[in-house]
Amino acid sequence: MHYIQQDIEKVLFTEEQLRTRIKELGKIIEKDYDGQKLIIVGILKGAGIFMSDLIRTIEMPIRTDYMVVSSYGNATISSGIVRIIKDLETDIAGWNILIVEDIVDTGRTLSYLKEYLLNRGASSVEICTLLDKPDRRVKPVDIDSKCGADPS
DSSP 20-45: HHHHHHHHHHHHHTTTS-EEEEEEET
> Taking the CA of residue 99 as centre, how many other CA atoms within 13 Å lie in the half-sphere pointing to its CB?
31
**Catalytic residue status for 142:** no
Query: For residue 34, with 0-12 CB atoms within 10 Å meaning exposed, 13-18 middle and 19 or more buried, which class applies?
Result: exposed
Q: How many CB atoms lie within 10 A of CB 18?
A: 16
Q: Which helix (H) or strand (E) holds 110?
A: helix 108-119
In sequence order, which residues have a C-beta less than 8 Å from that of residue 28 and are 6 or more positions away? 146, 147
Annotated active-site residue in 7, 32, 53, 105: 105
As annotated, the active-site residues are: 105
